[in-house]
């Protein structure tokens, strides 16, 4: 039996947890981007949803509390949430910053309690120790777990027993099923499949003719057959993605390119930390209208050095660039392989490769001492500057309430309660 743990309004709830005076108030995060990144339960009740502009949100809720995203504190909470789940089972997949999957199979005897009781303990521990609520879904497969969690939002605990799958799927629209995208759901609707139950009850042969592998996996999962693998420890990544939104949107080609290169520097940095390099790279741009443009390319050999990628990326960028306003750029490094030792290609000068290895070894060390972008490519200079152009109130409070010995760059890895005790 599998468990899905999903933080309720995660980013906003964390703000309420460390700033108790915000309890019960409508709170959103995303100030630095001018859109709602996360809304507290109170804000959601009054119609604020993720992705709306702050301007619209404030019109809906005049007393809205708007905060910048505090990624550092969110990450601390995220790690603790996974750790609490790990007290109960070693098989935990850190699916996203606010979600985890866990395998509860075989634990009933060990804990002398039912799946539901084990899940309730996890839910209680998280609430007591982190001051946030999570919704839990228990079911035979990941896809069914996700449906259970959707039903339990917020703060609920829903168990879909193998014998009760049909009942659970009856009122679930096909487009609300995990991994069913808009294109697939539109296709299925053409064939009269509107609910998850209708989809589940079609014979496998029928689905095989209609959909490709991921669709078939979803069908199997809805039928209680585990088809989506469990990705446990993230000690090495299958792909590394980095993207960043900038405000206001820009039509300056070199600025947008600089943003892209900065993402590549960040992604490479992360890859090097896990001693991985990429053979494939995907870049994408997002327009002001949220339209995405992307392109994938391959490099000759595994690399995690931006200098080696920059020429290829420029060509790819020229290929997809169209005049207009852009709000975000992103990059995916995929086909990751161990970075050391790299096998130089036939016509390559191995000395150059050794130089890069040494150079980035030094850059990573400088980063340890002086912060993330102590040394960067000239191309991303444009994007480096903007980071310091925070407007007032765009910096999370935690960064401005340092304790003695902490610096602007480095803080203690413990959440800080932001309250004036009486």
Partner 1 sequence: MSPNAGWPSPAEEELLDTISFDEWLIESSTFMVKIQNDAMQNAGIFSDDIVIFRRGQKPKSGDIVIADVDGEWMMRYYQIEDGRPVLYPANGHYEAVRPEELIVIGVIRSVIRKY
Tokens 């935690």 locate to 398
Residue whose CB is less far from partner 1, 8 or 308:
8
Residue 351 or 403 having the CB closest to partner 1: 403
185, 133, 143: which is closest to 165 by C-alpha?
143
Contact flag: residue 412 with partner 1 (CB under 8 A): yes
Q: Of 74 and 130, which CB lies nearer to partner 1 in the complex structure?
A: 130
CB-based contact 85:7 (threshold 8 Å): no
Q: Which is nearer to partner 1, 82 or 317 (CB)?
A: 82
**Minimal distance in Å, beta carbon 248 to partner 1?**
36
Do residues 158 and 137 lie in contact, with contact meaning Cβ atoms separated by under 8 Å? yes
Cβ nearer to partner 1, comparing 30 with 396: 396
Stretch of 17-25, 170-178, 220-228, 314-322 contacting partner 1, by CB under 8 A? 17-25
Burial 35-61 (b: 16+ CB within 10 A, else e): bbbbbbbbbbeeebeeebebeebeeeb
Which of 77-85, 168-176, 210-218, 372-380 is the region at the interface with partner 1 (rule: CB under 8 A)?
Answer: 77-85
The binder of partner 1 chosen from 3, 5, 18, 196 (CB under 8 A): 18
Note every long-range contact of 182-188, with CB atoms under 8 Å and residues 24 or more positions apart, other chains counting: 184/211, 184/215, 187/211
CB 293, CB 246: distance < 8 Å: no
In the stretch 245-264, what mask flags binding to partner 1 with x, by CB under 8 A?
--------------------
What are the beta bridge partners of residue 157?
136
Question: Which residues within the stretch 375-404 sit at the binding site for partner 1 (CB under 8 A)?
Answer: 401, 403-404
Q: Using the rule CB under 8 A, is 26 a contact of partner 1? A: no
Contact flag: residue 20 with partner 1 (CB under 8 A): yes
Residues 306-345 that bind partner 1 (CB under 8 A): none
Write the DSSP assignment of 303-357 as a string of letters: E--HHHHHHHHHHHHHHH--SS-EEEEEEEEES-EE-SS----TTS-HHHHHHHH
Active site residues: 99
Count the residues of the shown chain that bind partner 1, applying the rule CB under 8 A: 27
Closest CA to 179 of 208, 152, 215: 215
- Tell me: does residue 354 bind partner 1 (CB under 8 A): no
Q: Which region, judged by CB under 8 A, interacts with partner 1, from 152-160, 267-275, 295-303, 406-414?
A: 406-414
Measured CA distances, 2 to 127, 139, 148 (Å): 21, 6, 11
Q: Please select the residue that binds partner 1; options are 92, 130, 156, 176, rule is CB under 8 A.
A: 130
Toward partner 1, which CB reaches closer, 18 or 165?
Answer: 18
Question: Cβ closer to partner 1: 354 or 412?
Answer: 412
Q: Which of 25, 50, 80, 399 binds partner 1 (CB under 8 A)?
A: 80
Residue 362 binding partner 1, by CB under 8 A: no
Tokens, residue 325: 């306003």
Residue from 227, 312, 395, 416 binding partner 1 (CB under 8 A): 416
Contact 140, 224 (CB under 8 A): yes
CA torsion 91→94→98→99, rounded to 10°? -50
Q: Is 137 in a helix, a strand, or coil?
A: strand
Chosen residue from 56, 72, 125, 394 binding partner 1 by CB under 8 A: 125
State the residue for tokens 């520097």.
265
> Does the footprint of partner 1 cover residue 84 (CB under 8 A)?
yes
Binding site for partner 1 (CB under 8 A): 18, 20-21, 23, 80, 83-84, 125, 127-131, 401, 403-405, 412-417, 419-422
């Amino acid at each position: 039996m599998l468990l899905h743990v999903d933080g309720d309004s995660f980013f906003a709830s964390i703000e309420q947890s460390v700033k108790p005076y915000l309890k019960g108030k409508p709170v959103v995060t995303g100030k630095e981007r001018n859109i709602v990144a996360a809304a507290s339960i109170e804000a959601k009740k009054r119609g604020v949803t993720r992705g709306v502009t702050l301007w619209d949100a404030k019109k809906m809720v005049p007393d809205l509390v708007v905060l910048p995203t505090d990624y550092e504190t969110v990450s601390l909470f995220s790690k603790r949430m996974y750790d609490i789940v790990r007290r109960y089972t070693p098989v935990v997949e850190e699916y996203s910053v606010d979600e985890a999957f866990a395998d509860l199979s075989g634990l009933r005897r060990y804990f002398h309690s039912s799946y539901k009781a084990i899940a309730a303990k996890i839910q209680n521990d998280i609430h007591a120790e982190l001051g946030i609520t999570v919704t839990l879904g228990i079911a035979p497969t990941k896809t069914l777990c996700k449906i259970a969690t959707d039903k339990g939002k917020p703060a609920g605990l829903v168990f879909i027993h193998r014998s009760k799958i049909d009942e659970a799927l009856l009122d679930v629209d096909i487009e609300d099923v995990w991994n069913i995208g808009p294109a697939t759901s539109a296709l299925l609707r053409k064939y009269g499949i509107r609910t998850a139950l209708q989809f589940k009850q079609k014979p496998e042969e029928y689905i095989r003719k209609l959909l490709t592998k991921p669709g078939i996996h979803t069908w199997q999962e809805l039928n209680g057959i585990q088809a989506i693998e469990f990705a446990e420890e993230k000690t090495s990544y299958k792909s590394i993605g980095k993207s960043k939104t900038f405000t206001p949107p820009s039509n300056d080609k070199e600025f947008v390119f600089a943003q892209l290169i900065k993402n590549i520097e960040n992604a490479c940095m992360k890859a090097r930390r896990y001693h991985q390099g990429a053979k494939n790279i995907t870049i994408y741009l997002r327009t002001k209208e949220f339209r995405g443009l992307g392109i994938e390319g391959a490099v000759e050999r595994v690399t995690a050095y931006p200098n080696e990628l920059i020429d290829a990326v420029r060509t790819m960028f020229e290929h997809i660039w169209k005049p207009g306003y852009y709000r975000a750029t992103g990059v995916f490094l995929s086909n990751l392989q161990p970075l050391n030792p790299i096998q130089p290609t036939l016509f390559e000068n191995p000395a150059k490769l050794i130089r890069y290895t040494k150079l980035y070894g030094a850059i990573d060390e400088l980063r340890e001492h002086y912060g993330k972008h102590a040394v960067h490519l000239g191309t991303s200079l444009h994007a480096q500057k903007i980071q310091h152009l925070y407007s007032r109130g765009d910096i999370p409070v935690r960064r401005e309430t340092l304790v003695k010995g902490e610096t602007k760059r480095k803080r203690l890895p413990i959440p800080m309660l932001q309250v004036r005790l009486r």
